[in-house]
Amino acid sequence: MSFAEVHAAHPWDEVLSSVQRKTDADVLRALARAEADSADLEDFKALISPAAAPHLERMARLSHERTLRRYGRTMQLFAPAYLSNECQNVCTYCGFSAGNKVPRRTLNPGEILREAGALKKLGFDHLLILTGESNKVEVPYFVQALDLLRPHFSSLSMEVQPMETAEYAKLRRHGLNAVLVYQETYHRETYNVHHPKGRKSDFAYRLDAPDRVGAAGVHKIGLGALFGLEDWRAECFFTALHLRWLERKHWQSRYSVSFPRIRPHEGELQPKVEMTDRDLVQAICAFRLLSSEVELTLSTRESRKFRDHACRVGVTAMSAGSHTNPGGYAEGREASLEQFAIEDDRSPDEVAAMLRAHGYEPVWKDWDPSYDRPVALA
C-alpha cells in the first residue's frame, strides 16, 4: 500500500471533526500516555485540538524534558543555499513562481564554489541545497553541485523537485545525506488551487516522494506543510500520519518535521487560515510528545523573539543567517529574487550566541562522511 492510499482512507473533514471533538479528558489521557512515551495518533489529535490549549504550559514542559533526554542541550545550525530561482511551476505562495516576471538565475560551478566559501566563513558545515523546479536544474546539475560541495561540507541536504528512486540513489552515491519534500498542503483540492501548472501540480507524485527517498536508502527524510493554506490542525495530523507510516516502512532512515508559515513574497498571497504563535508552539510540542526521535526544525521565517523561545520547547534544528536568493551569501540579497522574506535576520554568530546564552551548544553539521565508509571487519 502506498501512502497515497493511506491518505485517501482518511477524509479531511472527518479528521478535522475528530480533532475538534477531543475533550479535556482526552487531552489529559494523551498527556499521561506521552509521559509514558506511548502516545499514538489519537493522542496526537488530542494534543493539537482546541481542548489542549489550556494545557500548553504542561505540554511545553514535557516537550522540553523529552527533548533534553534525547538530544541534550544542543541545537543543529544549517544554512539554506539557493542555487537557482528558475522554475516552471505556478505556485501561488512562492516568489519563484513561473508567473512572476523577475530576473532568473542558476549558479554556475564557479558561483557555487563562491557561495560555499562564503558559507564556510560563516561557520557552517551543514548545507541545505534548494532550487526551483525547471529543466535547467535536474539530476546532472545536482550531481555536479554535490561533487563541488562535498569536499567542503560534512552534511549535504536537498530540497528540490520530487524524483524517482533510482535518481535519489544516484545522488546519495554522490554525497547526499538528506532530502526534504514538503507536501505544502495535504488537502488535495486546496493543493490543486495553489499548484495549477507545472510538474508540481501532480499531488500524488509529490505525496509518495518521501517513500521513494526511503527506498533509495537516504539517511534522513524531511516532512512538513506550509501553514496558512489550510487548517493547521488537520495539516499537522496528516504530517504525523505520514511520519508514522514512513517510520514503519523505512525504519533505517531518520526523520525531521518543519513548521513553515506563509511569509511575504512576490505575489503576496494572504493566509487562508491564521496560525498564531501559540498555535505553532502547540504543534511543536505535540510532535515532540508523539516522538522523541523526530527532529523538529524552525527556519528564519520566524521572528527572533519566537525562535529564542522555541529553542527551549522541542526544536532541535534552526537555519541561521539565511539568504533565499541564488548567490545571496557571496553577493548579498540584491543579487536576485528572494523566494520569501526572512524575519530573523541575525547572523549565524548572533544566533549561536543566543543559544549559548540559553545554555545550548550550537552544532554546525548533521552527518559525517566517515559514516559512509565501509567498516573493515576483523
User: What percentage of the chain exceeds 70 in pLDDT?
Assistant: 95
Average pLDDT, the chain: 93
pLDDT the model gives residue 319:
95
Summarize pLDDT for 186-228 with one digit per residue, the tens.
Answer: 999 999 999 999 999 999 999 999 999 999 999 999 999 999 9
Q: What is the pLDDT of residue 231?
A: 97
For residue 71 the three cell numbers come to 538530544
Q: Which pTM value belongs to this model?
A: 0.94
Q: Which has the closest alpha carbon to 128: 364, 361, 302, 376?
A: 364
Residue in this structure with the C-alpha cell 522523541, named with its chain if needed: 292
Residues of the chain with pLDDT under 50: 266, 335-336, 375-378
User: Given this model, what pLDDT does residue 332 score?
Assistant: 76
Rounded distance, CA 237 to CA 45, Å? 7
Structural domains in the chain, sorted by start: 3-369 (3.20.20.70)
Question: Which residues on adjacent β-strands are paired with residue 246?
Answer: none
Tell me the residue type at 350: E
**For cell 481542548, what's the residue?**
51
Burial 319-334 (b: 16+ CB within 10 A, else e): bbbbbbbbbbbbbebe
Predicted local distance difference test score (pLDDT) of residue 97: 85
